[in-house]
């Protein structure tokens, strides 16, 4: 996993390129993302986090794995604020406001257009990973910590 502050971390700040054709290399990319995410005990991972500037993510918040190619948030509803961390920023956490519910359009590995509706943690994970495809990290959206 590419970590902030390491050589090559500028990929984390770049807008990822759309995937124009589903090929065996794209299928392999989704498999690599899945394996890397599970090995790191994460709930989501985006291609830039493994050094590939392509619009692909995987998410599994305990409801089963989903691989999304060219994901696009088409609607949001409500708000939730909760703590987030990131495999690319180990040891850092922050309170991040996100939509409570999202609808995301994407392609699956069979090149079929799909729509997923998610809420709570699943919605948060999708938003976090899709942000990676835009070069946005959770620390960019985290609320300032309150003084105790």
Q: Which residues are catalytic?
A: 129
Tokens 């599994």 locate to 60
Percentages helix, strand, coil for the chain (3-state, rounded to 5) are 30, 35, 35
In angstroms, the CA 37 to CA 84 distance is: 16
C-alpha 137 chain-centroid distance: 10
Give the H or E element holding residue 110: none
């Amino acid at each position: 996993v590419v970590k902030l502050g390491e050589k090559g971390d500028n990929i984390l700040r770049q807008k990822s390129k759309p995937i124009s054709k589903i090929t065996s290399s794209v299928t392999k990319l989704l498999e690599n993302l899945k394996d890397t995410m599970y090995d790191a005990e994460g709930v989501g991972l985006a291609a830039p986090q493994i050094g590939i500037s392509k619009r692909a993510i995987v998410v599994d918040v305990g409801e089963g794995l989903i691989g999304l190619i060219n994901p696009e948030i088409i609607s949001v509803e409500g708000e939730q604020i909760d703590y987030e961390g990131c495999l690319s920023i180990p040891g850092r956490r922050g309170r991040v406001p996100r939509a409570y519910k999202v609808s995301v359009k994407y392609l699956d590995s069979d090149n079929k257009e799909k729509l997923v509706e998610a809420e709570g943690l699943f919605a948060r994970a999708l938003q976090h990973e899709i942000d990676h495809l835009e070069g946005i990290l959770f620390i960019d959206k985290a609320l300032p910590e309150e003084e105790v």
